[in-house]
Amino acid sequence: MRGSRTIVAVLLLVCALFAADVFVLPAVTPELKAKASEYYNNECKGCHRWARKFAAPPMKDNVAQYVENPEALVQYLMKPEPKHPDQWDPMEISPMSEADAKMMASWLLYILEHPDDPGRPK
């Protein structure tokens, strides 16, 4: 009986360790949409349009690269570096906090998957 308790305790500990490493983006709520949209309009839209080239590549194309790896999008937003400095002027963006990067990643991926969302940037 004592051996089985030890096994259960070890299994619970292992499960807890794996659960702690699970990457989760925040849910897209109306509040998140409003805050992320405001952030986009203030910090991103000056250079990035959603679906067309402007002073930088279309945001839609940038985000599409991260559909299978949203954690990489969050990491990029936290420490942005130009991917094609030979084609575009350097980005003048401050790194985001992890919370803001997760918020933006969640919203950007959401609007990529919901192109008819009325809050999608132009």
Give the pLDDT confidence of 45-63 residue by residue, as tens digits: 998 999 999 988 999 999 9
Select 26-113's CATH number: 1.10.10.10, 3.55.50.30, 1.10.760.10, 1.10.1060.10.
Answer: 1.10.760.10
pLDDT at 20 over 60: no
Q: Is the dihedral of CA 19, 20, 23, 28 positive or negative?
A: positive
At 83, the pLDDT band (50, 70, 90 cuts) reads confident
The domain segmentation of the chain, as residue ranges, is: 26-113
Report the amino acid identity of residue 33.
K
Pick from 20-24, 29-33, 77-81 the range whose average pLDDT is largest. Answer: 29-33
Rounded Cα–Cα distance for residues 15 and 41 (Å): 41
Residue 80, pLDDT score: 85
H-run or E-run covering 34:
helix 30-39
Rounded Cα–Cα distance for residues 68 and 59 (Å): 16
